[in-house]
């Protein structure tokens, strides 16, 4: 039934029961705050609706520009118009003025001709779709964007070099051709892989489309007709009933028990009453406006359409989402920075040796070939695949930890996060109202929550009476068939507050059996005038007491006004000043903790006046409602999730600022923030209260904690907001609107922060899209918020974000390690070519063998580093500074190229000279021999011992040296892989627990053996079967690399901040 649906929404969706301080529970707030009808209701910070007479045209124009893909035309003014908290007056004016303004008739409605005219003027009642990126464009961006560009340039240069060589020599080697083809294949394969990984593209409008009503009932020409909702126009008179989706923004002119579910718009899950009365200046607070795409859940109503399509409040938020542009992700910026570095190094080396070769007398075409060869040799062909696979593996690992990543690059962005703007309900809290405290016998006792254990006494007579009243004066019940479900997780049919009471009571006594012993004979439901609920029950037949018992609950001050005694120590005590003060102290304490307080009382009806079978008149009560006995208080709160305080503490240790941004009341928001550790210091208000001073006399600089409500934020200038964000470590924004959330995110980004935002409602989607990483809720989140976000928390838990931050930091660390490992082999790959040019020696390493390393032996070990566990200080570091702490920096290049790489090159040349020496060519004989060595007409080249070598024999020996150099690189890369496991820790501390890395070591060795010893490889790939002893020359160098790096890390650990750390810690 609709009622059942509403009740379940009350349990499953955001629990606004706590946050609204409705008349049922709140009464006057403690500590001198204004009564609920004034302050407790939402402030003007929710001024979302619009002064369409002035601004709707601007909004539509901006939307049209976006729809056409004309982003440049959407100027700053358009963006500002969409963000403004602007006004409308359709809810304030009389019905007569409204009908005159929109030229409509309440009895006849609009004529078909008038409808056609208005459709032509305003367009269909639909949301303008945003521009969509064609799939082929997405594929091309993966094929040609970022790192792929460098590989394409390399491939083109290879083809150019091959063209030059073939123009000079018909029998030119095809190495450059093969290399170019391989580079193209690498780019295409990894590009397609990335495209499929990110196939869940942005479908924000699809979520909005699901919310759009399909049909509506409108008065046309004096007849009520069911029409397509897209044909609704401004001025239409429409009928609404429970179950309908509101087809446009509507001014209610007549209603009967009409309630709407505004959760898609504001996050409130409790049904909101709608009537013809104007009750608030703020359009979202007044009862006489119903909004497009919200749902009618009770009653019926008639209204006049005041806005359609893009001009509605939901349309405005959709426009804000579409107007908000995603910035480039940190990892994309890092890859671009890396490309610049590698390109710079390659071009400088290439041009330098082009000039040197030219100066040494080489033909200019040969010098061009050298130039291209050096540039291509600098391109790490396997790195694109390594980065893509590493990000994918991490994304899959995060999915197992309830963190679903929609965009691969978002994995690392979360690790770079320096500020988290977190929603409260359902993320920091359990999204489940819970009884936190009870007050009876003038004492406060705690109840079981995630952060405390119960301290109440079930044997107390006063507690027994409080328990009875809470169970009997309660219409909530557990849904059917949940006997095996833990009590706190059971679905309930009923109000969120009443559901909390029965969940508190069930573990003490089964409420169904308990209620059966006290049959209900009469009930006055809660209403906002009385602010209490009353029910009358028979007492258990086996108890010997035939009196009826009256039980009442409601706003505490209303309940207290109806009582003359208070139950204490089992006796009814007169409610004098002392007991009233005890009540007031308890009420102030519980209310000050942001908890919703309910009062309870009972009364035994005299048997003589109210015998069994007495007819109770509920319209004109014929039973006492004053002179009752006050039995106690219960306070409710949506308690923090158990893991959240630890998670917030982890964020603090990691240097991440956590800001709460909520639509909740400031007192409740502050209370939860204090419980989870977001606020640990005194606010300016707390200091003023402690010192007994007016707040104006407390200097703003004395407090690093602040709570700001939307009403204040509305009047704050941009610079003042920036100052608040910069000078306060602990911040809570309460009562915020969607526009304000967006403004807060932009303020954080202006300060240089990498911002993560959590949210679950349509109202959160603009901020989710604007953030560096948007994190939506998987359980309570709307479709729109999920589509606008980059990441979805499958368990709606803040602690999962912290897990994501750690994973993000690990992947950034591990990508650094993979790049350091991969780049190191560039030096032993490039240096043979440089020696070949400078010293005229036979080529020590061929192009094909370079491909073996980059796309063969190095690939699996590089990817295995993505599985490396975190170093011990991963969550103790401050967030990385995107401007200075780059993925690839000068220190990493220095280590990879200038230190480890040089050692590897020396190892390769040592093996090269050993193999030549064993075959008769002493090192001194090799210098200057290249021209004769490569001359096919020379068949009598003498070695150091006078032996003559034919061209084919020389080339066979050359291929042996290529293979030896290649194998030596594999051997020294063993040590490089092990030292790259850590950036600071000793390998002995980190351990060798990474099974994938151990497999990588065996894999690269096995692959090298396959290339060397498989029959036919000498013909196809020009590798030769090496003697075992030619594997050994690289071993001392491998040991040297390991010992050298362990000493370097030991110095970094023992002298933090010292010269070695500054120059070599990458």
Q: Could you give the residue numbers annotated as active site?
A: 423
Are the CB atoms for 764 and 757 separated by under 8 Å? yes
Are the CB atoms for 242 and 298 separated by under 8 Å? yes
Instruction: Give the tokens for residue 730.
Output: 């602990």
Q: Is the dihedral of CA 400, 401, 406, 412 positive or negative?
A: negative
Q: d(Cα 941, Cα 961) in Å, to the nearest integer?
A: 18
Are the CB atoms for 23 and 583 separated by under 8 Å? no
Q: d(Cα 601, Cα 628) in Å, to the nearest integer?
A: 7
Task: With residue 63 as reference, give the H or E element that holds it.
Answer: helix 52-67
Q: Say which DSSP state 840 is in.
A: -
**CA distance readout (Å), 259 to 66, 135, 213, 278:** 35, 43, 17, 15
Query: 446-449: which pairs have CB atoms within 8 A and are 24 or more residues apart?
Result: 447/504, 448/507, 449/637, 449/639
Task: With residue 521 as reference, give the H or E element that holds it.
Answer: strand 520-524
Residues in CB range of 337: below 8 A, 6 or more apart:
886, 887, 888
Q: d(Cα 52, Cα 57) in Å, to the nearest integer?
A: 8
Nearest CA-CA partner of 262 in 235, 292, 305, 220: 292
Q: Say which DSSP state 46 is in.
A: G
DSSP string, 276-327: S----SSTTT-TTEE-TT-EEEEEEEEEEEEE-GGGSHHHHHHHHHHHPPPP
Instruction: Give the tokens for residue 703.
Output: 């407090």
Query: 920-923: which pairs have CB atoms within 8 A and are 24 or more residues apart?
Result: 920/944, 920/945, 920/947, 921/957
Q: Say which DSSP state 1030 is in.
A: G
Q: d(Cα 341, Cα 1053) in Å, to the nearest integer?
A: 28
φ/ψ (deg, to 5) at 909: -70, -35
Instruction: Give the tokens for residue 239.
Output: 């009928």
Nearest CA-CA partner of 252 in 295, 289, 291, 297: 289
**CA distance readout (Å), 525 to 522, 532, 535, 536, 806:** 10, 8, 8, 12, 51
Q: Among the residues of 543-635, which ranges form H helices? A: 556-561, 577-592
CA dihedral 324, 798, 792, 9 (to 10 degrees): -100
Are the CB atoms for 796 and 779 separated by under 8 Å? yes
Question: Strands 403-405, 628-637: parallel, antiparallel or unpaired by DSSP?
Answer: unpaired
Burial class for 123, CB neighbours closer than 10 Å (0-12, 13-18, 19+) = middle
Are the CB atoms for 29 and 665 separated by under 8 Å? no
**CA distance readout (Å), 54 to 86, 87, 308, 311:** 10, 10, 16, 12
- State the Rg of the chain over Cα: 37
- Among left, alpha and beta (phi > 0; psi -120 to 50; other), residue 221 is left
């Amino acid at each position: 039934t609709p009622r059942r649906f509403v009740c379940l929404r009350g349990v499953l969706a955001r629990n606004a029961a706590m946050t609204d301080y409705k008349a049922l529970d709140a009464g006057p707030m403690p500590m001198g705050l204004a009564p609920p009808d004034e302050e407790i209701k939402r402030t003007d910070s929710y001024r979302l609706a619009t002064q369409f007479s002035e601004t709707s045209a601007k909004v539509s124009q901006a939307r049209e520009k976006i729809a056409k893909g004309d982003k440049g035309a959407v100027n700053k003014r358009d963006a500002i118009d969409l963000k403004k908290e602007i006004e409308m007056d359709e809810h304030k004016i009389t019905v007569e003025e409204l009908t005159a303004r929109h030229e409509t008739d309440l009895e006849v409605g609009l004529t078909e001709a008038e409808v056609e005219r208005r459709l032509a003027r305003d367009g269909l009642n639909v949301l303008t779709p945003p521009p969509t990126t064609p799939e082929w464009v997405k594929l091309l961006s993966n094929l040609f964007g970022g790192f792929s560009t460098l590989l394409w340039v390399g491939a083109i240069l290879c083809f150019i070099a091959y063209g030059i060589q073939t123009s000079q020599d018909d029998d030119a080697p095809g190495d450059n051709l093969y290399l170019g083809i391989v580079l193209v294949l690498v780019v295409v394969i990894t590009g397609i892989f990335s495209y499929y990984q990110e196939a869940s593209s942005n479908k924000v409008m699809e979520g909005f489309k699901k919310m759009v009503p399909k049909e509506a009932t409108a008065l046309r020409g004096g007849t009520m007709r069911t029409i397509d909702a897209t044909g609704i126009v401004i001025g239409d008179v429409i009928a609404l009933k429970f179950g309908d989706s509101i087809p446009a923004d509507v001014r209610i002119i007549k209603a009967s028990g009409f309630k709407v579910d505004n959760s898609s718009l504001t996050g409130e899950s409790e049904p909101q009453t709608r009537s013809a009365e104007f009750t608030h200046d703020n359009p979202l607070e007044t009862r006489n406006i119903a909004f497009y795409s919200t749902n009618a859940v009770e009653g019926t109503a008639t209204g006049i359409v005041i806005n359609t399509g893009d001009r509605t409040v939901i349309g405005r938020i959709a426009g804000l989402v579409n107007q908000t542009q995603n910035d480039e992700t940190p990892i994309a910026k890092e890859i671009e920075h890396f490309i610049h570095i590698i390109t710079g190094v390659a071009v400088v080396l290439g041009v330098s040796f082009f000039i040197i070769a030219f100066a040494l007398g080489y033909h200019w075409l040969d010098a061009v070939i050298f130039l291209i060869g050096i540039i291509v040799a600098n391109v790490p062909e396997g790195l694109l695949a390594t980065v893509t696979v590493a990000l994918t593996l991490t994304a899959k690992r995060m999915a197992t930890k309830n963190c679903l990543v929609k965009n691969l690059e978002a994995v690392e962005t979360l690790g770079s996060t320096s500020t988290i703007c977190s929603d409260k309900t359902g993320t920091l809290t359990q999204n489940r109202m819970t009884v936190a405290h009870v007050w009876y016998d003038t004492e406060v006792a705690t109840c079981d929550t995630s952060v405390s254990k119960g301290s109440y006494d079930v044997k107390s007579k006063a507690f027994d009476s409080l328990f009875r009243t809470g169970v009997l004066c309660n219409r909530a019940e557990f849904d059917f068939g949940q006997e095996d479900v833990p009590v706190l997780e059971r679905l309930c049919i009923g109000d969120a507050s009443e559901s909390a009471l029965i969940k508190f009571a069930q573990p003490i006594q089964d409420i169904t059996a308990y209620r059966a012993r006290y049959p209900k004979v009469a009930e006055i439901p809660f209403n906002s005038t009385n602010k209490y609920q009353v029910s009358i029950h028979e007492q258990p037949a086996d108890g010997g007491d035939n009196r009826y018992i009256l039980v009442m609950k409601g706003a505490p001050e209303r309940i207290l006004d109806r009582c003359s005694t208070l139950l204490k120590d089992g006796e009814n005590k007169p409610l004098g000043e002392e007991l009233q003060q005890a009540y007031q102290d308890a009420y102030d304490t519980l209310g000050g903790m942001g908890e919703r307080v309910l009062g309870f009382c009972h009364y035994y009806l005299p048997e003589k006046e109210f015998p069994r079978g007495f007819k109770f008149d509920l319209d004109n009560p014929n039973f006492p409602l004053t002179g009752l006995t006050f039995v106690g208080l219960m306070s409710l709160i949506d308690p923090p999730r158990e893991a959240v305080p630890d998670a917030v503490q982890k964020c603090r240790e990691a240097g991440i600022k956590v800001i709460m941004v909520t639509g909740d009341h400031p007192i409740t928001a502050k209370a939860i923030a204090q419980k989870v550790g977001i606020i640990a210091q005194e606010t300016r208000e707390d200091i003023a209260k402690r010192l007994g001073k007016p707040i104006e006399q407390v200097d703003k600089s004395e407090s690093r904690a602040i709570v700001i409500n939307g009403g204040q934020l509305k009047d704050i200038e941009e610079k003042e907001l920036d100052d608040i964000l910069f000078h306060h470590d602990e911040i809570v924004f309460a009562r915020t609107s969607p526009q304000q959330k967006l403004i807060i995110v932009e303020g954080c980004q202006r300060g240089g922060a990498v911002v993560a935002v959590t949210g679950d409602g349509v109202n959160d989607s603009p901020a989710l899209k604007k953030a560096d990483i948007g994190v939506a809720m998987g359980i309570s989140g709307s479709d729109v918020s999920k589509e606008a976000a980059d990441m979805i928390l499958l368990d709606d838990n803040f602690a999962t974000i912290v897990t994501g931050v750690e994973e993000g930091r690990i992947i950034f660390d591990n990508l650094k390690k993979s790049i350091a490992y991969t780049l190191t082999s560039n030096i032993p790959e490039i240096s043979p070519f440089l020696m070949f040019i400078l010293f005229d020696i036979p080529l020590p390493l061929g192009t094909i063998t370079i491909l073996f390393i980059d796309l063969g032996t190095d690939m699996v070990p590089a990817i295995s580093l993505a599985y490396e566990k975190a170093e011990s200080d991963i969550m103790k570091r401050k967030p990385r500074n995107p401007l200075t702490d780059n993925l690839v920096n000068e220190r990493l290049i220095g280590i990879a190229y200038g230190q480890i790489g040089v050692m590897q090159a020396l190892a390769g040349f040592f093996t090269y000279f050993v193999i030549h020496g064993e075959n008769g060519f002493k090192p001194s004989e090799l210098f200057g021999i290249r021209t004769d060595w490569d001359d096919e007409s020379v068949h009598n080249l003498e070695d150091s011992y006078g032996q003559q070598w034919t061209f084919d024999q020389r080339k066979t020996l050359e291929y042996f040296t290529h293979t030896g150099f290649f194998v030596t690189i594999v051997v020294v890369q063993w040590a490089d892989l092990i030292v790259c496991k850590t950036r600071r820790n000793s390998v002995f501390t980190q351990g060798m627990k990474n099974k994938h890395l151990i497999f990588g070591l065996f894999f690269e060795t096995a692959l090298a053996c396959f290339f060397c010893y498989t029959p036919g490889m000498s013909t196809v790939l020009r590798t030769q079967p090496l003697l075992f002893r030619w594997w050994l020359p690289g071993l001392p160098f491998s040991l040297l690399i390991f010992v050298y790096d362990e000493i370097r890390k030991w110095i970094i650990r023992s002298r933090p901040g010292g010269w070695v750390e500054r120059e070599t810690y990458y």
